[in-house]
Amino acid sequence: MSILALDAEGLYLELLMGVRALFRPGMHLVGITSGGAWLAERLQRDLSLPEPHGVISSALHRDDYARRGMTVAAQTQIPFDVNNASIILLDDVLFTGRTIRAVINELFDFGRPAMVKLAVLVDRGGRELPIQADVCAARIVLPATQSLALARSDAGVFSFNVKAR
The CATH number that applies at residue 90 is 3.40.50.2020
Helices (H), 3-146: 8-22, 35-46, 65-68, 98-109
For the stretch 94-137, pLDDT in tens is 999 999 999 999 999 999 999 999 999 999 999 999 999 999 99
Instruction: Taking residues 147-155, report their average pLDDT.
Output: 95
| Parent domain of 120 | 3-164
Confidence category of residue 73, pLDDT binned at 50, 70, 90: low
Angle, nearest 10°, between helix axes 8-22 and 35-46?
A: 60
Q: What is the pLDDT of residue 72?
A: 54
Q: What is the CA angle 62-64-67, rounded to 5?
A: 135
Phi, psi values for residue 138, rounded to 5°: -155, 150
Contact 122, 140 (CB under 8 A): yes
Q: How many domains does the chain have?
A: 1
Q: Is the pTM of this model over 0.85?
A: yes
Q: What is the pLDDT of residue 4?
A: 55
Residue 27 has pLDDT above 70, yes or no: yes
Contact 48, 55 (CB under 8 A): no
Q: How far apart are CA 93 and CA 160, in angstroms?
A: 10
Contact 122, 152 (CB under 8 A): no
34 against 76, higher pLDDT: 76
Residue 17 has pLDDT above 70, yes or no: yes
Confidence category of residue 144, pLDDT binned at 50, 70, 90: confident
Contact 36, 74 (CB under 8 A): no
Residue 33 has pLDDT above 90, yes or no: yes
